[in-house]
């Protein structure tokens, strides 16, 4: 019997990517605040993804009157954009998006995604798999007009770093070093291998 797979993320892009590779999964979003202690980007995303997965697992256990979670894999993920050692989150508004995009244009930056898979066995025992994947993204030089036109589409407003590589902003991506899907929000090949290794897919 295959394990039940639960994606602990509200991201429509992560849902699309998992569905794209044929994974049968449910979505369960944790509403808890995201906090972290590390100052290293690769470790921050690992912390955040693990917290998301743990929160979802706790809620699953609470739903079953405290019974242990069994035969289930819970996936947590978190993506950040880093420029000059500074994390660029989601923009507050259109002007904030313009500010971020102005900084990114003509330069390279890093995108890190942390993935945590909580693998619960038939006996309720938990195995934790936690890693991060980094991709270097090179953005072409952009005019102020191009930046403002893209920001005006509202596409940047729900995205870390104020852009989505899979949409209109693709016109300004020079190249990447690493996993493209990691920049979209989930390194699906690595996730697929992980699920295969634990017998969940």
Per the CB < 8 A criterion, the answer to whether 147 and 102 are in contact is: yes
Quickly list H helices, the chain.
12-20, 41-63, 94-104, 144-152, 180-184, 188-197
List, in sequence order, every residue forming a beta bridge with 177; answer none if it has no partner. 136
Region of 10 please: left (phi>0), alpha (psi -120 to 50) or beta: alpha
Indicate if 78 belongs to the active site. yes
Which residue in 78, 93, 123, 179 is the catalytic one?
A: 78
Interatomic CA distance for residues 53 and 163, integer angstroms: 25
Residues whose CB is less than 8 angstroms from the CB of residue 170 and which lie 6 or more positions away in sequence, other chains included: none
Enumerate residues 6+ apart whose C-beta is below 8 A from 97: 91, 151, 156, 157, 162
User: Would you name the residues annotated as active-site residues?
Assistant: 78
């Amino acid at each position: 019997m295959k394990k039940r797979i639960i994606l602990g993320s509200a991201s429509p892009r992560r849902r699309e990517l998992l569905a794209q590779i044929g994974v049968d999964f449910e979505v369960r979003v944790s509403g808890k605040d995201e906090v972290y202690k590390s100052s290293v980007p690769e470790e921050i995303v690992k912390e955040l993804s693990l917290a998301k997965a743990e929160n979802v697992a706790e809620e699953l256990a609470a739903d079953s009157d405290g019974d242990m979670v069994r035969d289930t894999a819970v996936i947590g993920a978190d993506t950040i954009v880093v420029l000059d050692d500074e994390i660029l989150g989601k923009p507050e508004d259109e002007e904030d998006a313009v500010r971020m995009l102005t900084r990114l244009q003509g330069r390279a930056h890093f995108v890190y995604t942390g993935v945590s898979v909580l693998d619960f066995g038939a006996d309720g025992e938990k195995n934790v798999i936690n890693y991060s994947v980094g991709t270097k993204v090179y953005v072409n030089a952009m005019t102020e007009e191009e930046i403002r036109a893209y920001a005006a589409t509202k596409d940047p407003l729900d995205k870390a770093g104020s852009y989505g590589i899979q949409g209109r902003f693709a016109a300004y991506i020079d190249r990447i070093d690493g996993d493209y899907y990691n920049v979209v929000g989930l390194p699906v090949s690595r996730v697929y291998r992980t699920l295969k290794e634990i017998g969940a897919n």
